[in-house]
Amino acid sequence: MTIFKGLSAYPVTPADAGGRVDTAALRRLVRRLADAGVDSVGLLGSTGSYPYLDRSERRRAVDAALDEVGGTVPVIVGTGALRTDEAIRLAQDAKAAGASAGLLSAMSYLPLNEAEVFEHFAAVADQGGLPICIYDNPATTHFRFSTDLVARLSRVPGIVAVKNPTCTPEEIPSHLASQRTAVTKGFSIGYSGDGNCAEAMIAGADLWHSALSGTLPAGCLGIVRAVRNGDLPEARRLDAALRPVWDLFRAHSSYRVLHEIVAQLDLCHLAPPRPVLPVSDGVRQQIAAVLRDLPPEILGTG
């Protein structure tokens, strides 16, 4: 599907301490992304705090975002939930609001086995009404999709894409080739984990699911466009310019760092939902220094 190609930008979801979404701020964030020219917006992903928001607030966020940019850029909405029936309802909500696709994780409290994950995804694809992208995020769900499971799910009607975590740059080509051979024709293979995604796109991945692009899309767009044009040195040059950001992500998590970046750029002011705490003063200063040193083409000001 053309929805799952290029660069998908995942913004934070502005919300207060009680989990009430600031829809005006969210509208501003998604408008910036649409105006920047991203290929899709990934709403309510991990960067967008989906596990911390109840169904009503997630619906308010989806309604606001789709009202702002619906029809101008595809919106992929996170529909992950602990219960299958709740994930189905969230997918139905996103469909009713006009979302283009759903992003579904193997979110759980008890460890899940492959049979349980298969049935969960098949049910949401069947009853939710949206094309589904598999969200493989073992760092948070503690479940890792095998190539065989992804291949089986790719044959389920309505499951059309996968969002993989990146391995090392050296391992990406073989992982991509193995998965490409196993899944059905036309099934989209994408990656997240910004620090390695330039190499994933160079290797032939269909989509970069990008956390940074939800806040600073220009540099990542430059990488994707350079790859499309066959200018791999330019793609790697831009990736190298972003290395200080990737290092911050690895050290402190993209989630915490991005909450601070949006504040320092005065895009919106929010604290991560408790029990997650804001970064320390020392890390705040590191982030400020990195932002000061980023070239204008990365910040989108040059």
**Complete domains list, the chain, with CATH:** 2-229 (3.20.20.70)
**Interval 172-197: pLDDT, tens:** 999 999 999 999 999 999 999 999 99
Out of 52, 135, 191, 255, pick the active-site residue: 135
pLDDT for 39-58, tens place per residue?
999 999 999 999 999 999 99
Q: Count how many residues are written for the chain.
A: 302
CB 190 within 8 A of CB 205: yes
Spatial separation of the C-alpha atoms in residues 34 and 68, rounded to whole Å? 9
In the structure encoding, which two tokens stand for residue 165, read together? Answer: 């975590």
Binding residues for pyruvate: 47
User: Distance between CA 154 and CA 144 in Å, rounded?
Assistant: 16
How much is the average pLDDT of 251-275?
95
Task: List the binding residues.
Answer: 47
Examine the residue annotation and report whether 135 is marked as an active-site residue of this protein: yes
Q: Pick the catalytic residue from 5, 50, 95, 163.
A: 163
pTM here is: 0.96
**What are all long-range contacts of 109-115, with beta carbons under 8 Å and residues at least 24 apart?**
109/82, 111/142, 111/143, 112/143, 114/146, 114/149
Return the DSSP state at 22.
Answer: -
Q: What confidence score (pLDDT) does residue 302 get?
A: 63
d(C-alpha 183, C-alpha 169), whole Å: 22
pLDDT for 1 beyond 60: no
DSSP conformational letter for 222: H
Give residue 145's pLDDT.
Answer: 98
Q: What is the mean pLDDT of the chain?
A: 96
Q: Can you tell me the mean pLDDT for 233-262?
A: 97
| Average pLDDT, integer, range 262-284 | 94
Distance spanning both ends of the chain, measured CA to CA = 33
State the average pLDDT over residues 72-80: 97
Mean pLDDT of 229-258: 97
Residue 231 sits at φ, ψ, to 5 deg, of -95, 75
The answer on pLDDT for 35 being more than 80 is yes
Cis amide leading into 275 (omega within 30): yes
Backbone angles phi, psi at 56, to 5 degrees: -65, -40
Q: Catalytic: 5?
A: no
User: Residue 270: what pLDDT?
Assistant: 86
For 201-232, what is each residue's pLDDT tens digit?
999 999 999 999 999 999 999 999 999 999 99
